[in-house]
């Protein structure tokens, strides 16, 4: 209430002064707001083609004296907003109410309202993702040894994803390269590498200027490569032939149904439509093939055992979006 009274008194005083000084100079007063009706602090107001400038105060209010006989157009600018030019003539009434539109939004849409301006545009997404799947190789422990299967119970990959959305429908392709696990087990070296290929399909259930919530279905091909080899750099040929290196490639296809939540941050690096986001994904995973496809140096290995999955799957992403008209 006190702030409203202060604003009213300031504008009333400025209007009174403008009448007293009208014979020699024009005192322009006004308030700068964004399209949410929030005052913009620090916006600059300049008489066009002159160095006669001022800045809006903490309430978005400004005062500027315009000399008689010069062009009286004003240019209003603020970082992150589209500039506005205002014509001042004998029909202009004060105080002025000037509204600035953020650069990343066209029209009157702003704040937490759904951003319909993107609905009919192709939005290209490039992102770096980190995905984790919790698997269970207990059925293979009698064959491979628990020292091998325990390191395979956690599948983690990080890599790029490229996608696009149109009218809220998203399609993306991703590649994930896993962490390289390497451990010594007595004289044996255990080396595990993971790779994942994925296809993501989703629809923007909620899409505002700051928040995106997208139900998503993800099809993933998980590849585990497990190697065992001697910890000694020099071994005899006879020993090598008696205890050959273990080189197995497990392949498991899964489907994940989940929810992706992203927080958007605008930057205008490449134009008025680009923005960053950080996202968190959580979903329920299920297997597509019952038993994994296993290969070892050209051989297809048959098995009745299966890889079990923990239902929870999580992911994290940092993305950059560009609106392509």
Partnered with residue 154 across adjacent β-strands are 134
74-77, strands of its sheet edge to edge: 53-55, 44-47, 74-77, 84-86
Angle in degrees, CA 50, 52, 53, rounded to 5: 120
* DSSP code of residue 80: T
Using alpha carbons, select from 60, 23, 22, 64 the residue that is nearest to residue 42.
60
Q: What is the pLDDT of residues 227-271, one digit of tens each?
A: 888 777 787 888 777 666 788 999 999 999 999 999 988 655 544
DSSP class of 116: G
Task: List the chain pLDDT tens, one digit each, 325 residues.
Answer: 444 555 655 555 555 555 444 446 788 899 999 887 888 989 999 998 888 999 999 889 999 888 876 557 899 999 888 899 998 887 888 899 999 988 765 444 444 444 444 556 788 899 999 999 999 999 999 988 888 888 888 888 999 999 998 888 999 999 999 866 777 777 788 888 999 999 999 999 988 878 899 999 999 999 999 988 877 778 788 877 766 678 899 999 999 999 999 998 865 554 445 788 999 999 999 999 999 999 988 889 999 999 999 999 999 999 998 877 5
Domain boundaries, the chain: 2-100, 117-324
Report residue 113 as tokens: 């309202």
**The token pair that represents 53 in the structure block:** 């400038």
At 160, give phi and psi (nearest 5°): -85, 155
Q: By the 8 A CB rule, do 182 and 189 touch? A: yes
Q: Which CATH architecture has domain 2-100?
A: Sandwich (2.60)
On whether the CB atoms of residues 77 and 44 are closer than 8 A, the answer is yes
Looking at the domain that runs over 117-324, which CATH code has it been given?
Answer: 2.40.160.20
Whole-model pTM? 0.61
- b (16+ CB within 10 A) / e for 172-206: bebebebeeeeeeeeebbbbbbbbbbbebebebee
């Amino acid at each position: 209430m006190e702030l409203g009274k202060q604003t009213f008194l300031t504008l009333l005083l400025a209007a009174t002064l403008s009448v007293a000084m009208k014979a020699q100079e024009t005192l322009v007063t006004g308030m700068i707001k964004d399209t949410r009706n929030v005052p913009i602090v620090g916006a600059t107001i300049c008489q066009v083609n002159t160095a006669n400038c001022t800045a809006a105060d903490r309430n978005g209010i400004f005062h500027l004296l315009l000399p008689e006989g010069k062009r009286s157009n004003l240019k209003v600018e603020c970082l992150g907003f589209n500039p506005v030019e205002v014509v001042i003539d004998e029909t202009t009434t004060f105080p002025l109410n000037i509204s600035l539109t953020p650069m990343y939004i066209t029209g009157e849409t702003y704040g937490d309202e759904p951003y319909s301006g993107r609905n009919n545009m192709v939005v290209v997404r490039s992102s770096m993702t980190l995905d984790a799947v919790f698997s269970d190789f207990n059925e293979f422990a009698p064959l491979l040894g628990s020292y091998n299967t325990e390191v395979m119970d956690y599948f983690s990959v990080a890599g790029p994803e490229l996608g696009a959305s149109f009218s809220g429908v998203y399609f993306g392709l991703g590649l994930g390269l896993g962490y390289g696990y390497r451990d010594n087990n007595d004289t044996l070296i255990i080396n595990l590498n993971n790779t994942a290929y994925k296809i993501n399909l989703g629809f923007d259930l909620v899409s505002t200027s700051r928040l995106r919530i997208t139900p998503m279905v993800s099809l993933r091909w998980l590849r585990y490569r497990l190697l065992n080899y001697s910890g000694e750099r020099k071994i005899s040929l006879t020993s090598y032939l008696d205890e050959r290196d273990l080189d197995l490639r497990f392949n498991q296809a899964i489907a994940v149904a989940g929810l992706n939540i992203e927080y958007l941050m605008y930057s205008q690096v490449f134009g008025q439509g680009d923005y960053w986001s950080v996202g968190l994904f959580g979903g329920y995973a299920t297997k597509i093939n019952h038993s994994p496809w296993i290969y070892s140096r050209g051989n297809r290995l048959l098995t009745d055992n299966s890889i079990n999955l923990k239902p929870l799957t999580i992911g994290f992403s940092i993305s950059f979006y560009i609106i392509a008209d």
